[in-house]
Amino acid sequence: MADQGARDVGSARGAPAAPTPGVANEAKAPRTARGALTMRKLLDAAMEEFGEKGFGDGSIVGITRRAGVALGTFYTYFDSKEEVFQALVRDMSEQVRLAVAPALAGAGDPLDRERGALAALLRLIQSRQQVYRIIDEAEFVDPAGYREHYVGAAARIAARLRAAAADGAIRRQDSAFAEEVVAWAVMGANVFVGLRYGVWESEDPDQVANIVNRLLRDGLKP
Q: What angle do CA 97, 53, 24 make, to 5 degrees?
A: 45
* Mean pLDDT taken over the chain: 89
Could you give the C-alpha distances from 85 to 33, 47, 58, 89, 98, in angstroms and in order? 22, 9, 10, 6, 20
222 pLDDT tier (thresholds 50, 70, 90) = confident
pTM of the predicted structure, to 2 decimals: 0.83
Range list for CATH 1.10.10.60 in the chain: 2-79
Range list for CATH 1.10.357 in the chain: 84-218
What tens digit of pLDDT does each residue of 7-29 get?
A: 344 333 343 344 445 466 677 88
Find out if CATH 1.10.3470 is the number for domain 84-218.
no
Q: Single out the residue of 211, 119, 109 nearest to residue 160, CA to CA.
A: 109
Cα–Cα distance, 64 to 32 (Å, whole number): 20
Find out if CATH 1.10.10.60 is the number for domain 2-79.
yes
What tens digit of pLDDT does each residue of 144-197 get?
A: 999 999 999 999 999 999 999 999 999 999 999 999 999 999 999 999 999 999
